[in-house]
Amino acid sequence: MNDLVKLTEEIVKSLVVDADGVSVKEFPSEDEKTMLIQVMVNEDDIGRVIGKDGKTANAIRTLVQASSALNGNKYVKINIDKF
């Protein structure tokens, strides 16, 4: 598993009540300079991960993108959804 996927998973798991219900996976992107990470959380936890006006989700994206930039990696897109 990619380090950025692990980082994303750790951040999300620290925010939710049902940490076992968190699924974070990397998907192939059409652009080789872009990395796509899909985050799935329990329906009850989606508000905790997205936050008011999406501020928490944007903070997660900022942290992961900063980590990627420090490691000379790709642009990261993170999609957050519930199941």
**Domain of 61: which CATH number?**
3.30.300.20
Give residue 72's pLDDT: 74
Question: Which domain, by its residues, includes 34?
Answer: 3-82
Please check the confidence at residue 32 and state whether its pLDDT lies above 60. Answer: yes
Please check the confidence at residue 1 and state whether its pLDDT lies above 70. Answer: no
- What's the rounded Cα separation, in Å, for the pair 11 and 51? 13
Tens of pLDDT, residues 33-60: 899 999 999 999 999 999 999 999 999 9
The answer for residues whose C-beta is within 8 angstroms of residue 71's C-beta and 6 or more apart is 3
Summarize the confidence of residues 1-21 as an average pLDDT: 93
- Give the count of domains, the chain: 1
